[in-house]
Copies of this chain bind each other. A is one copy, B any other.
């Protein structure tokens, strides 16, 4: 069974990082049948790092991990920084299947989510 790693940028604001942890928890509650394990990680400025989270998932038995970038735009972080870390982990764990999912902003559901917020803003 796949594990899921939600990767966010990380912030100096503790509250922003906690939002990401909470989001991973909500996903966990909504998907207890679909993923063996669900964790969050941060590219920078906060813990756990992506490296540590992958190690934890592998130590917990993961053979396949979906890495999901919680980013809105496809900048350097999505195109270079996260893949670079993931590629290093692929080299480290030959038997591990690390799958990069699209980043959040690429989802074709985003326009409808924004429309819901715009139509009922209060």
Copies of this chain in the oligomer: 2
Please give me the residue from chain B that is nearest to A13 by CB atom: B75
Contact partners of A23 in chain B: CB under 8 A? 110-111, 114
A36 within 8 A of B: no
Q: Out of B19, B31, B35, B107, which one reaches A74, CB within 8 Å?
A: B19
Interface residues of A in 97-122 (CB under 8 A from B): 99-102, 104-107, 109-119, 121-122
Contact partners of A121 in chain B: CB under 8 A? 66, 68, 99-102
A: residues with CB less than 8 A from B are 4, 6, 8, 11, 13, 15-16, 19-20, 23, 26-27, 30-31, 34-35, 66, 68, 70-76, 99-102, 104-107, 109-119, 121-122
